[in-house]
Amino acid sequence: MKRLLPYIALLKPIRGRFVIAILCGLLYGISTGLGLPYMLKKVFPVVFSMEDVSNGILLGAVALIPLSFLIRGITGFMNIYLINSCGVHILEQLRTKLFSRLQELPTSFYQKHRIGDLQSRAINDTELLQNHIVNISNDLLKQPVTLLSAIAYLVHLTLKNTELTYILLCLAVIPVCVFPIRQIGRKILNRAKKLQQQTGDLSAIITENLSAQREIRAFNLKEIEKDKFRKLVGVLFRFRMKLVKYNQLIAPTVEIIAAIGIAVSIFYAAKQNTSLENLSPLILALYLSYEPIKKLGSIHAKVKQGNAALDRIEYILKHPLEVEDPTEALPFDNVVGKVEFRNVTFSYDASPALKEINATITPGQIVALVGPSGAGKTTFANLILRFFDPSEGNLLIDDIDLRNITQKDLRHNIAYVPQNPILFNISARENILLGQTDNSVLSVEDAAQQAYAHKFIQELPDGYDTLLGEKGSRLSGGQIQRIAIARALLRNAPILILDEATSALDAESEHTIQQALQNLVKDKTVFIIAHRFSTISLANRILVFEEGRIIADGAHDQIIKDCDLYRRLHERQGD
């Protein structure tokens, strides 16, 4: 329960609504626990009276029945309605919090987690948690009040008729209910955890399947996929039924215990010849004091289920950021683009992917990063973007350590064309505009012209306003890369990073891209990761990577003589 408190604080902005909801809940509790038996106590003597009563008195008495239900109904409705509105508010906040956190987490986080599972945490677990938070905070006040009102009324009655004292003994059965409730709660926590986890798996399987439809068809994986899904759904079904079983066990268990208590009191009442009109309010009050126990029992179960969801949500909310902004960031503007690696070592896991890298790149230099795959080129580029911090050593731009500036300022000054650029499901124009900053000087059309993307964009059904579809599904790989280059051109940042930006092209479009790149690299500090020597020829400096080290550094003419690896790579391509 304590764990939920910080989340209940999310209700602060709407505490007025929450307080009214609780007050209505309390009124509902009092009008149930105390009001209903009291009403019977008032109505029965009149109705079953031996004497003649006037119609007026009779009507007045029976009118108490709808009246008490009216109060109970209105307060009950208001309570549920307002509580739900608080719940929706919590849900919004929770999801926003989670989503914001996902924007901050390191890129490595996304390599270690399945998108579908994260999605399920953001959608299913938050929904579960909000349900529980509101129901719990609601019932936690309402039910004890109902219980206390009912007990208060019982005590009041027995004080008046001391021969009824035995009935209080029946209340002693209440603590007995606690044992099965606790036992069941424990079972629920385990099952709920597994269920949420399986729901995450299910969501992951669906997203993975949907994004790999081509492979699944090409490799005849349909049946295997169907089988996998069927099995998981089966497991999910069993866990769900276990939860239903344990959740639904609580009410009958408490009711059976309550029935024993009530039977005992009726037995004593019969022995003492208590009249029906005296007995019925008592029985009702007794019944009403078991009712909250039942509800509290299921709250206990809900807390357990809520905790399972909370674990999964907090896993994201409390996941370390790794790369964090300094508390007092240095200003970072008028960047000229000097990049310096000072003795940088970086490891993803155990063995380092970059070892003791030293390199100073002067502003305006065009640097090609060359080497076999896995040599550390992408890692080198990612460190400049500060997707990670060096494990050892320092990385400086314009002589400022990257740890001393904000990530926002840093990335404002970098244009990045990744190997597989992602286009968003918005128009071509908007996709290019994503690159815009206050540095931008080109118009969208000019940027597209220079990226050799203008022609094919114009030929799309709605030109620049054509929706590109998810991940740019209506375009070819080369076209997507050209849009990404237009984006980078528009950005006009002092530092430019191209990670295999020409890899998806055929020879012809490579030629066009080549010209696009020449426009792009003017007056910038540029890092080009490429396998094609036609692209590398744009560079005036080459860094050759092998197993995380720079083994050669210089101009093409120099290192083709000095570096065997470079020469081999060059010869293999035959140009």
Q: Residues interacting with ligand ADP, by CB under 6 A? A: 108, 111, 348-349, 353, 371, 373-379
Residue 203 site contact among Mg ion, ligand ADP, none (CB < 5 to 8 Å, cut-off depends on kind): none
Let me know: does 287 contact 153? Beta carbons within 8 Å.
Answer: no
Write out the two tokens for 406: 């904000």
Minimum distance, C-beta of residue 369 to ligand ADP, in the bound complex (Å): 8
Q: Which stretch binds Mg ion (CB under 5 A): 119-127, 246-254, 317-325, 370-378?
A: 370-378
Q: Which stretch binds Mg ion (CB under 5 A): 100-108, 184-192, 193-201, 376-384?
A: 376-384
Residue 119 site contact among ligand ADP, Mg ion, none (CB < 5 to 8 Å, cut-off depends on kind): none
Using the structure block, give the residue that is written with the tokens 């349900």.
131
Residue 212, helix vs strand vs coil: coil
Write out the two tokens for 143: 């039910």
Name which of residues 142 to 161 contact Mg ion (CB under 5 A).
none
Minimum distance, C-beta of residue 535 to ligand ADP, in the bound complex (Å): 15
Let me know: does 296 contact 139? Beta carbons within 8 Å.
Answer: yes
Cβ distance to Mg ion smaller for residue 268 or 533: 533
Residue 327 site contact among Mg ion, ligand ADP, none (CB < 5 to 8 Å, cut-off depends on kind): none
Residue 111 site contact among Mg ion, ligand ADP, none (CB < 5 to 8 Å, cut-off depends on kind): ligand ADP
3-state secondary structure 411-437: HHCEEEECCCCCCCCCEHHHHHHCCCC
Helix (H) and strand (E) counts in the chain: 22, 10
Write the single-letter amino acid at 221.
L
Residue 374 site contact among ligand ADP, Mg ion, none (CB < 5 to 8 Å, cut-off depends on kind): ligand ADP
Residue 514, helix vs strand vs coil: helix
Let me know: does 208 contact 221? Beta carbons within 8 Å.
Answer: no
Let me know: does 161 contact 275? Beta carbons within 8 Å.
Answer: no
Cβ distance to Mg ion smaller for residue 169 or 422: 422
Residue 376 site contact among ligand ADP, Mg ion, none (CB < 5 to 8 Å, cut-off depends on kind): ligand ADP
Residue 162 site contact among Mg ion, ligand ADP, none (CB < 5 to 8 Å, cut-off depends on kind): none
Contact letters for Mg ion, residues 164-183 (x by CB under 5 A)? --------------------
Minimum distance, C-beta of residue 468 to ligand ADP, in the bound complex (Å): 27
Write out the two tokens for 147: 């219980």
Cβ distance to ligand ADP smaller for residue 154 or 414: 414
Residue 37 site contact among ligand ADP, Mg ion, none (CB < 5 to 8 Å, cut-off depends on kind): none
Nearest-CB residue for Mg ion: 378
Minimum distance, C-beta of residue 379 to Mg ion, in the bound complex (Å): 8
CA angle 501, 505, 509 (to 5 degrees): 110
Residue 353 site contact among Mg ion, ligand ADP, none (CB < 5 to 8 Å, cut-off depends on kind): ligand ADP
Helix (H) or strand (E) holding 396: strand 392-397
Minimum distance, C-beta of residue 346 to ligand ADP, in the bound complex (Å): 9
Minimum distance, C-beta of residue 108 to Mg ion, in the bound complex (Å): 15
Cβ distance to ligand ADP smaller for residue 381 or 489: 381
Cβ distance to Mg ion smaller for residue 75 or 481: 481
Cβ distance to ligand ADP smaller for residue 234 or 374: 374
CA distances in angstroms from 477 to 100, 303, 505, listed in the order given: 31, 50, 7
Let me know: does 348 contact 387? Beta carbons within 8 Å.
Answer: no
Cβ distance to ligand ADP smaller for residue 309 or 370: 370
Cβ distance to Mg ion smaller for residue 466 or 503: 503
Minimum distance, C-beta of residue 113 to ligand ADP, in the bound complex (Å): 12
Read off the DSSP letter of residue 359: E
Strand ranges across the sheet with 414-417 = 414-417, 495-499, 525-529, 366-370, 541-546, 549-554
The gap between the terminal CA atoms of the chain, to the nearest Å, is: 69
Cβ distance to ligand ADP smaller for residue 127 or 322: 322
Helix (H) or strand (E) holding 258: helix 222-271
Does the CA dihedral 158-159-162-166 come out positive or negative? Answer: positive
Minimum distance, C-beta of residue 534 to Mg ion, in the bound complex (Å): 19
Helix (H) or strand (E) holding 395: strand 392-397
Using the structure block, give the residue that is written with the tokens 């709808």.
66
The CA distance from 211 to 58, in Å, is: 72
The CA distance from 285 to 291, in Å, is: 10
Minimum distance, C-beta of residue 503 to Mg ion, in the bound complex (Å): 10
Write out the two tokens for 216: 């699944």
The CA distance from 392 to 524, in Å, is: 28
Residue 349 site contact among ligand ADP, Mg ion, none (CB < 5 to 8 Å, cut-off depends on kind): ligand ADP
Cβ distance to ligand ADP smaller for residue 273 or 351: 351
Minimum distance, C-beta of residue 509 to Mg ion, in the bound complex (Å): 21
CA angle 423, 428, 430 (to 5 degrees): 85
Write the single-letter amino acid at 70.
L
Minimum distance, C-beta of residue 20 to ligand ADP, in the bound complex (Å): 51
Minimum distance, C-beta of residue 112 to ligand ADP, in the bound complex (Å): 8
Cβ distance to ligand ADP smaller for residue 179 or 348: 348
Using the structure block, give the residue that is written with the tokens 């200003």.
331
Q: Does 378 bind Mg ion (CB under 5 A)?
A: yes
Q: Which stretch binds Mg ion (CB under 5 A): 237-245, 294-302, 373-381, 490-498?
A: 373-381
Residue 390 site contact among ligand ADP, Mg ion, none (CB < 5 to 8 Å, cut-off depends on kind): none
Pick from 227, 59, 42, 26: nearest CA to 141: 26
Minimum distance, C-beta of residue 378 to Mg ion, in the bound complex (Å): 3
Q: Does 502 bind Mg ion (CB under 5 A)?
A: no
Q: Which residues would be at the binding site for Mg ion (CB under 5 A)?
A: 378
